[in-house]
Structure 1
Amino acid sequence: MRGFSITIGAVIAIVIVGVLVLIGLPTYNVYSKQMQGKAAYEQAVQDRRIRVLEAQAALDSATLTAQAEIARARGANEANRIMAEALGGPDNYLRWSYIHMLEETAGKPGREIIYIPTEAGMPILEAGRRPAQ
């Protein structure tokens, strides 16, 4: 009889485990899907936050770049104004600027300049330029 009671106990245990599996598996699947949904939602929220932060960083960068460019332009404007005043006006500044450009480009390949005096004392700039033969 003892062997029979172990068998009945084993069958009852198997039935109980089976019932628990049949009840617990669908519940676990629902729980698992809920957790996957929450994880996907949190991932989407995090991705959105990252995109917002990247956009804010790009905006900040563009703003600072614009401010730096404005400051550079103001500095160049002030430097040009001071130089023009020191040289006696805008015409003399342009003449000095042209001479300075000639000094910087002198001797560079493909740069041949012929000076021709005119009535105004200024050379004719690159008039009748022809390629070298």
Structure 2
Amino acid sequence: MNGSYKGVMLGTLVSWFLFGLIGFGLWGCPTYNVWQQEMSGRAEFAKAEQNRRILIEEAAANLEAEKLNAQAEVERAKGAAEAIAIENGAISEKYIQYLWVRQQKNLGDKTVIYIPTEANLPILESTRGIQVPKVPNP
């Protein structure tokens, strides 16, 4: 009888352990799901906050760049005004040509320039590469 008593006790302990494990699982799983959702929400909130800070910093950098561009434009205008003042208040044709040539540097190597001739009309060579067939006289 002593051996069967130990078996019953062992079976009882195992069944209580399994009952406790199942009870803990029934309580723990919903609690874990709530905790997991809370942690997921916190992570999402932190990510959104970081993205907002990045957007604010980018906007501040853009504002600073625009301010610097405006200052550069003011300085260019001051320089142009001084150049006009040196030319006695009138922009000369030579200065306009200089500005035009300076602008051409930014266009690259494939710039076609037409030089005006009589009456300031350019000579257009649009038919240079076209072969016109000769029509025989009847």
Q: Is the pair's TM-score, using the shorter chain for normalization, greater than 0.5?
A: yes
Give the number of the structure with larger relative contact order, counting CA–CA contacts within 8 Å between residues 6 or more apart. 1
Residue 74 and residue 23 in structure 1: after superposition, are their counterparts in 2 closer, same or farther (change >3 A)? same
**Superimposed CA distance per residue, residues 7-59 of structure 1 (whole angstroms, 9 cap, x where no aligned partner):** 01111111211220221011110221112111111122112102211210221
Residue 90 and residue 101 in structure 1: after superposition, are their counterparts in 2 closer, same or farther (change >3 A)? same
Residue 60 and residue 9 in structure 1: after superposition, are their counterparts in 2 closer, same or farther (change >3 A)? same
Paired residue total: 123
Which residue is 1:97 aligned to? 96
Q: Of residues 113, 117, 131 in structure 1, which corresponds to 2:125?
A: 131
Computed over aligned residues only, the root mean square deviation of the Cα atoms, in angstroms, reads 2.6
Tell me if structure 1 keeps the 8 A contact 2:84–2:90.
Answer: yes
**Higher deviation after alignment, 75-84 or 35-44:** 35-44
Q: Distance in 2 between matches of 1:104 and 1:65?
A: 23
Which residue is 2:115 aligned to? 113
Letter paired with 1:101: W
Report % sequence identity.
5
Tell me if structure 1 keeps the 8 A contact 2:114–2:123.
Answer: no
**Superimposed CA distance per residue, residues 63-105 of structure 1 (whole angstroms, 9 cap, x where no aligned partner):** 012101111110110110111111222322x541314534875
Q: Distance in 1 between matches of 2:14 and 2:71?
A: 82
Q: Distance in 2 between matches of 1:86 and 1:36?
A: 75
Residue 88 and residue 34 in structure 1: after superposition, are their counterparts in 2 closer, same or farther (change >3 A)? same
Q: Distance in 1 between matches of 2:116 and 2:63?
A: 46
**Higher deviation after alignment, 72-81 or 39-48:** 39-48
Superposed displacement of residue 115, structure 1: 5.0
**Could you state the TM-score of these two structures normalised by the residue count of structure 2?**
0.74
1:91 counterpart SS class: coil
